[in-house]
Structure formats: structure tokens, C-alpha cells
Amino acid sequence: MSATLSPPHSMPVGSHVSDRLSRKASRHVKERIIEALLFSAAAFSVFVTGAIVYVLVKESWVFFETVPLSDFLFDTQWTPLFDDAHYGIMVLLSGTLTSSGVALLVAIPLGTIIALYLSEFAGFKVREIAKPFLELLGGVPTIVYGYFALTMITPLLQKIYPDLPGFNLLSAGLVMGIMIIPYVASLSEDAMRAVPMALREGSYAMGATRLQTALWVVTPAATSGIASAYILGISRAVGETMILAVAAGMQPNLTFNPTEPGATITSYIVQVALGDLPHGSIGYQTIFAAGLTLLLMTLAFNLLGYWLRKRFREVY
């Protein structure tokens, strides 16, 4: 380029830059506005969490002004809608823990075996078919699982235990377990597949079999991922509602015996919502106190999962 040729838009030294390069040009303003809009969409999720905490705490606050916290935690009866009202959350917690326990006894062993099988044993074709199928299984609406537990599993179990009542925590828990299998299996499998090939090859080179490699090399290396899959399964079980509302009966029952009917925190909320409780009554506030308990439980599990991932993550 010749030095004598001046650029078409030459400006005297010291004058301001062209408008098209200025930060104030419309294109920059537009960019800023768009960025602000997108940011507010992302920040909206924080607002949602804030709103959940605010609503639950606000209504529970009113509840705990009437009912002392010690009653809530230690009373052994839950009869908030009776004249002789008792508010012992323990009763609902026992139902939640029992049904979740049954569900996890099904979901954790089966989910783990399926994950190990799909990641270490199955061929490409089996995996390509099985994974979408598991997704479908996880996508079935829970009300349908509830109907299935009530009309199919309970009569089946009654053939084995004739004394089993029509509503019970056992059949609800079993079906819930099957519902949770996909979550446990698919997350565990992701964790196992993330284990580098070199570890497996090392193991095979030492003469280990597939099973030995799967159990003693892959599983330990994927512990943090498998643990968080379990945690997700637990928090699904604790928060599951419709299966229990349909198949477990909704009568509060302080028991750890799965063959009895029982109410859980979630099915109690449904039961109250189905009725016609006036806004602002103590019965209305109990569901927020119950919801707060549920939120705190799932929050604790989420934090535990987060901590496990950090603490036991193997970095390759």
C-alpha cells in the first residue's frame, strides 16, 4: 500500500473516532440490552428458589406461632383436622421413610446391576436399545404407576400375604422403586462410562475377568458418581406423591411396617389440597409446614450429594 494514498475516511489527528466505532453506537446498546435480558432470565431461577423459601417459611411461621416446635417434632400423633388436634410430623415422616426404604431396596440393587451390565458387559446394540427404554420407563406419569400399584401389585401381593390391606406402603414402595430404577441406572452408568479405558485395560492385562474389573476397578473409580445417583434416587423417593396418594391410603400411621397403610408428607399435602380448607386456617398452614420439612430433607440430600461428588471425585 502506498503511503501517499490517504484512507477514504481520513480524519485529522485528535478528532473523535467515527460514530460507527463508538461504544454508544446502537449496536452496542442493543447488545447490552440483550445481555441484560438474558441475564434476567438466568437470574429468574434464583428468584424462584427465593420465592419457594419465602412462601414456605412465611406460612410455616404462622403455623409455628400456634404450634410449638417441640410438639411438631416429638408428638406421636398427626390429627390436624380433628378437634383434638395433634401435630406430630414424626407420623408422616415414618410413612415417608418406610415407603422410601422399600423403594430403595428395589431401586439401588437393580439400578446398580443394570448400570454395571450396560456399561461393562452389554454390547453396543443392547445399550442402544436399553437406554432409551429406561428413559421411557422414567417418563411414565406417576399417577399411572399409582393406578398400577393399586390395581395390579396389591392384588398380586394379597395372593402371597392374604392379610395385606388394600392400601399399603409395600406395594406403593415396590412400584416407586421400579419408577426410580431408570434414574439410578442411567446416572450410575454415566459415571462408570466416564472411567478411562486405560484403567480397564490395565486390569485386563493383569488377567482380571470382566466381572472382577467391573467390581474392583470400575466401581471404586466411579464411586462419587454412583453415590450421587443413589442420592438422586433417595430424593425422588422422598418427594414422590401420587403413587403414595393412590396406593398407600392416606391415614396417618406411626409405623415402620410396610404392610400397613400410611400417609406420607407428600400424600398428606394432596389430601388437604383435595379438601376445601379455607385460606389462612391452621389446616391450610400445616401443608406449608409439612412442605418445609420436605424441602429441608431434599435440600440436605442435595447438599450431601454435592459434597460426595467433591470429596470422592477421582480426577484423571
Q: How far is the CB of 238 from other proteins (least distance, A)?
A: 7
**Set of cell numbers at residue 314:** 477421582
Q: How far is the CB of 3 from other proteins (least distance, A)?
A: 26
Among residues 58 and 313, whose Cβ is nearest to other proteins?
Answer: 58
Binders of other proteins among residues 225 to 264 (CB under 8 A) are 232, 235, 238-242, 245-246
Q: Does 17 bind other proteins (CB under 8 A)?
A: no
The label of the residue with cell 445399550 reads 127
Q: Which of 220, 297, 295 is nearest to 52 (CA)?
A: 295
Query: Given the rule CB under 8 A, which of 12-20, 197-205, 252-260, 294-302 is the region that contacts other proteins?
Result: 294-302
Q: How far is the CB of 84 from other proteins (least distance, A)?
A: 26
Between CA 295 and CA 224, with CA 93 as vertex, the angle to 5 degrees is 60
d(CA 136, CA 150): 21
Q: How far is the CB of 298 from other proteins (least distance, A)?
A: 6
Report whether 111 contacts 233 (CB < 8 A).
Answer: yes
Give bridge partners of residue 78 from the DSSP assignment.
Answer: 87
Instruction: Kindly state the number of chain residues that form the binding site for other proteins, as judged by CB under 8 A.
Output: 83
For the chain, the first-to-last Cα distance in angstroms comes to: 53
d(CA 167, CA 252): 12
Binders of other proteins among residues 165 to 194 (CB under 8 A) are 178, 181-182
> What would the DSSP string read from start to end of 115-142?
HHIIIIIS-HHHHHHHHHHHHHHHHS-H
Binders of other proteins among residues 111 to 170 (CB under 8 A) are 113-114, 116-118, 121-122, 130, 132-137, 139-148, 150-152
Q: How far is the CB of 86 from other proteins (least distance, A)?
A: 22
Among residues 12 and 278, whose Cβ is nearest to other proteins?
Answer: 278
Binders of other proteins among residues 262 to 291 (CB under 8 A) are 266, 269-270, 273-274, 279, 287-288, 291
Binders of other proteins among residues 206 to 225 (CB under 8 A) are 209-212, 214
What is the phi-psi region of residue 207: left when phi exceeds 0, alpha when psi lies from -120 to 50, beta otherwise? left
Among residues 31 and 74, whose Cβ is nearest to other proteins?
Answer: 31
Residues 6+ apart with CB under 8 A from 202: 217
Q: How far is the CB of 218 from other proteins (least distance, A)?
A: 13
Binders of other proteins among residues 24 to 83 (CB under 8 A) are 27, 30-31, 34-35, 37-39, 41-46, 48-49, 51-52, 55-56, 58-59
Among residues 166 and 257, whose Cβ is nearest to other proteins?
Answer: 166
Q: Give helix then strand counts, H and E, for the chain.
A: 14, 0
Q: How far is the CB of 47 from other proteins (least distance, A)?
A: 10
Q: Which of 220, 187, 217 is nearest to 312 (CA)?
A: 220
Q: How far is the CB of 257 from other proteins (least distance, A)?
A: 24
Give bridge partners of residue 87 from the DSSP assignment.
Answer: 78
